[in-house]
C-alpha cells in the first residue's frame, strides 16, 4: 500500500478478532506482501569492506551473503502457534475481511517479556496485494488505536524498515512520532538498512491507570462500509 496513492474504498470490510483457525490465512497475507525473490547483487566483498561481517562468517562468499540477506516466506503451519501465542498473552490480532476472505491484519506484539512493560506493544500491519490502495491499513490502525485500552495498552510502537515510505506515512498520519532509529541493524537484499521506531501515547481509562486492567472479552465484528 502506497501512502501517496488515493484511497479507494469499495464494498464492505468487516473487522474482527482473529482466532487460531485464521493462522494459515494470516500467513498467506504475510507471504503475499513480500517482494518477489530477485537475484541479489553478487558483487564480491573483502574483509576491508565489511570487517565485522567477515569476522562473523556471513561474507565468506557472495552467493552466501546474498542468500542470507533475502526475506524468506514463512510456512503456513508456523502461523497457528503464532496466533495461539497471541491469545495466551492477551495480545489481539484483528483481521479485515471482505466476503469471508481475509485481506489484511494488524497484530499487537509484546514489546518486552518484562512484567513492567505490559502496557507497551508493537503494531504490525500486513495487507494482501488484492487489498492495496483501499484504505484497509488505515481501518486496521484506527481500530487498534481505539481498542488498545481494552487490553491495558497505552504505548504503541511501530518498527519500520528504512525505505518503507508507505508504512512511515500511514503511522505518521495517525499521529505516531519518531521515537528513535536503530542504525543499520537490518540486512536485506545485500544491503544494510536502518530500523525506524515510531510511537504514540493514547489516553487510558481511569480504572486502567489505577492498575485495574479491563476484562478480556472477544469483540464483536465491526462492519466498515465504503
* Mean pLDDT value across residues 3-23: 70
* Mean pLDDT value across residues 51-68: 41
What gap in Å lies between CA 142 and CA 43, rounded to an integer? 43
Residue 220 has what pLDDT? 53
* Mean pLDDT value across residues 120-147: 94
What gap in Å lies between CA 45 and CA 60, rounded to an integer? 9
**Is residue 10's pLDDT more than 50?**
no
Percent of the chain with pLDDT over 70: 69
Residue 204 has what pLDDT? 75
Residue 223 has what pLDDT? 52
Neighbours of 99 (CB within 10 A): 9
CB-CB contact of 148 with 108 (8 Å)? yes
Cross-strand bridge partners of residue 17: 94
HSE-up (13 A, CA, CB side) for residue 140: 29
Residue 217 has what pLDDT? 47
* Mean pLDDT value across residues 69-95: 79
pTM for this entry: 0.74
Condensed to tens digits (0 to 9), the pLDDT of residues 183-225 reads: 999 887 778 899 999 999 998 765 554 444 444 445 555 554 4
Question: Of 167, 73, 157, 177, whose CA–CA distance to 108 is shortest?
Answer: 157
Residue ranges in 1-155 assigned as alpha helix (H) = 23-33, 51-56, 62-68, 76-88, 136-147
Q: Which of 9-13, 17-21, 170-174 has the lowest mean pLDDT?
A: 9-13
Amino acid at each position: 500500500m502506497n501512502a501517496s496513492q488515493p484511497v479507494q474504498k469499495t464494498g464492505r470490510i468487516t473487522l474482527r478478532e482473529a482466532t487460531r483457525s485464521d493462522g494459515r490465512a494470516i500467513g498467506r497475507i504475510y507471504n503475499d506482501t513480500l517482494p518477489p525473490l530477485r537475484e541479489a547483487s553478487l558483487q564480491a566483498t573483502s574483509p576491508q569492506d565489511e570487517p565485522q561481517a567477515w569476522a562473523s562468517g556471513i561474507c565468506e562468499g557472495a552467493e552466501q551473503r546474498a542468500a542470507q540477506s533475502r526475506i524468506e516466506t514463512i510456512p503456513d503451519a508456523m502461523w497457528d502457534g503464532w496466533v495461539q501465542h497471541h491469545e495466551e498473552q492477551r495480545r489481539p490480532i484483528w483481521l479485515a475481511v471482505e466476503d469471508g476472505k481475509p485481506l489484511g491484519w494488524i497484530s499487537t506484539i509484546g514489546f518486552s517479556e518484562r512484567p513492567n512493560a505490559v502496557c507497551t506493544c508493537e503494531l504490525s500491519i500486513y495487507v494482501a496485494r488484492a487489498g492495496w490502495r483501499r484504505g484497509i491499513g488505515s481501518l486496521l490502525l484506527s481500530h487498534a488505536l481505539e481498542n488498545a485500552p481494552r487490553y491495558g495498552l497505552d504505548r504503541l510502537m511501530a518498527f519500520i524498515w528504512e525505505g518503507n515510505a508507505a508504512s512511515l506515512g500511514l503511522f505518521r498520519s495517525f499521529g505516531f512520532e519518531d521515537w528513535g532509529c536503530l542504525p543499520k541493524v537490518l540486512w536485506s537484499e545485500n544491503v544494510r538498512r536502518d530500523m525506524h521506531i515510531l510511537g504514540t501515547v493514547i489516553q487510558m481509562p481511569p480504572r486502567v491507570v489505577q492498575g485495574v486492567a479491563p476484562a478480556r472479552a472477544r469483540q464483536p465484528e465491526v462492519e466498515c462500509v465504503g
